[in-house]
Amino acid sequence: MGTFNCLIVEDEPLAAEVLQDYISQIPFLTCKAVCRDALYAIQILQKEKIDVLFLDIHLPKIKGFDFLKTLQNPPQVIITTAYREYALDGYELNVVDYLLKPISFNRFFTAVNKLKNEPAQNTEPAIQDLPEQPYLLININKKRIKIAENDILFIESRKEYVSIVTSEHSYLTKCTLNKMEQQLQNNRFLRIHRSFLVAIDSINAFNAITVEINKHKLPIGRSYRKIVHSILTF
């Protein structure tokens, strides 16, 4: 078996460190780079000869599978994720293996032994074909502000205004939470309270009455608890 040049695309630093450590223990693997999002990964693929992609699914900006679909001739791919339910999608994209976090070394070793000893292809990442990411347009101080939906952590109702919170900013605009919920009708957002709409993949922890998003603890409304728990524990 020859040597495989590897690229890790992972936004969780600890998970990326684990993969780097595992790769360093395998004689036929070499880690060329670690990227926290798909846009950076595209730059690496344009510059480096990459044989194997260790790809997380839930990435900022562009999700892992959306990124993979843009590559005309992708390298061999091993999915690394905490979400079991996307396994079928992964195999439909001809991935080598699908590793569930936390990943043990034995499971990692089994996966990399499935790699085919083939020369790396020219991936020709098709950045121009990336789907346009959905966004909100809001009015603030007579300006139109564009906010990518993937950047939103949660939205809080404040009477006739809403506060749109991202990891770096908070935007206050005149709008109702009901109207925001209608604009964001996709599987990423969940109403947990009459005053809060949250991005599901931003939730770090939850219990019977609250969810945690970064340093924010948000209440789960009594009438929302059943549906919220059924979705979060799926």
Mind listing the pLDDT tens digit for each residue in 114-139?
Answer: 998 764 454 455 444 555 567 788 88
Instruction: Tell me the domain boundaries of the chain.
Output: 4-129, 135-232
Tokens read off for 214: 């970064």
The model's confidence at residue 1, banded by pLDDT at 50, 70 and 90, is low
pLDDT per position as a tens digit, 6-21: 999 999 999 999 999 9
Q: What residues contact 211, with CB distance under 8 A and at least 6 apart?
A: 192, 198, 203, 205, 217, 218, 220, 228, 232
DSSP state of 153: E
Q: Please name the CATH architecture into which domain 4-129 falls.
A: 3-Layer(aba) Sandwich (3.40)
Give me the long-range contacts of 19-22 (CB less than 8 A, separation at least 24).
Answer: 19/54, 19/80, 19/103, 19/108, 22/103, 22/105, 22/108, 22/109
Tokens read off for 159: 């009477």
HSE toward the beta carbon, residue 100, CA cutoff 13 A = 5
Q: Most confidently modeled of 148-152, 153-157, 177-181?
A: 153-157
Tell me, what's the pLDDT at 103? Answer: 92
Same fold, 4-129 and 135-232: no
Mean pLDDT value across residues 166-182? 90
Tell me, what's the pLDDT at 234? Answer: 54
Of 8-22, 25-39, 98-112, 113-127, the one with minimum mean pLDDT is: 113-127
In percent, the amount of the chain with pLDDT more than 70 equals 88
Q: Please name the CATH architecture into which domain 135-232 falls.
A: Beta Barrel (2.40)
H or E segment and range at residue 107: helix 105-112
